[in-house]
Amino acid sequence: MTRKQHMLEPLMASLLTLDWEISPQTIRKFEKELEAVKEKVGDDPHSRKLIDLTLPICNYLRVRKGSADPASMQFLHQATRTLHSLRQKQKLGGGEPTERIKKLVHNFRDLMADVQRINSTLDRATIAKPSPATTKVTARKKGPARKPAVPKTGKESPKAKVFNTIKRYKKGIDIASLIKITGINDSTVRSIVYRAAKEGTIKRLRRGVYTVK
């Protein structure tokens, strides 16, 4: 008789691979498994909260690479074990699920602060700097008839470029196509898409395919 696979087995397997080798491929594989689990847990607030805390660690690992704090992998293992306990409906040590999650974050507060700094930096990187043409002060002309200066349009930000590209594809577009069309690097596109989906400005049609709401 074939054993039924638990929904978290692929996630735990990808975590072991990531623990063995931190690379863009293993990070992305772990992200995909997290996203797949998030779809399966439905409206369970505790499971979704754990996944939302865990996903930003992937961006942290991309940026830090070999200099990543070992606590990052410890956090991923503890969060995954806690998620497994929730899905198995086991009694969690240390109180109710909400308290367990708070304790997990508290134990890794220094790591979470670094993760927050990195994700804030990635967010700021998606905001275009004003073009010199838009900040140049227009010289005043003498004379009675003075027309107001018309500001020039600045360069489209990566965030706007990704959103506008998704908007053009009513049936959805995948990450690889977004990267190719926009010319924006992989990690920036994924960060923009992740946060836009979390904010509700875009929606996920199926695994890795997004459209506007």
Domain limits, the chain: 9-125, 157-213
Give the pLDDT confidence score for residue 28 in this predicted structure. Answer: 92
Q: For 167-179, write each residue's pLDDT tens digit.
A: 888 788 888 888 8
- Helix (H, G, I), strand (E, B), or coil: what is residue 108? coil
Q: Quick one: tokens of 63?
A: 């940026």
Q: Quick one: tokens of 149?
A: 């200066």
CB 162 within 8 A of CB 192: yes
Name which of 65, 141, 53 is nearest 101 in CA terms: 53
Between 45-64 and 70-87, two packed helices, what is the crossing angle to 10 degrees? Answer: 160
CATH code at 157-213: 1.10.10.10
User: Which portions of the chain are predicted below pLDDT 50?
Assistant: 1, 128, 131, 134-135, 137-139, 150-153
Q: Give the helix/strand (H/E) hosting 53.
A: helix 45-64
